[in-house]
Amino acid sequence: MITISYSGLYNELGVLMAADYRKDKDGDTWHFCSNCSSWPTVNYHEQRLPPMTGDLCNECKAKRREGNCR
């Protein structure tokens, strides 16, 4: 069991998601829905754990809220 403290970045979502997180190598915005219109497909960085820095994509957050995140 690993306990990690997360910053306010995740308050909006309320839960931590097991997902792949991607961001453009040049950018600061993380995406976690593969159906996001901005989902990086080339030249991206990917990780399993929720990112500790940067911003989460607003479109991805909206999809998540709508239950439309794939």
Contact string 41-60 vs Zn ion (x = CB under 5 A): ----------------x-xx
Please give the Cα distance from 49 to 68 (Å, whole number). 21
**69 is an interface residue for Zn ion by CB under 5 A:** no
- Residue partners of 8: CB distance under 8 A and separation at least 6: none
Least separation in angstroms between residue 38's CB and Zn ion is: 5
What's the angle, vertex CA 55, arms to CA 50 and CA 57, rounded to 5?
Answer: 90
Contact string 12-41 vs Zn ion (x = CB under 5 A): -------------------x----x-x---
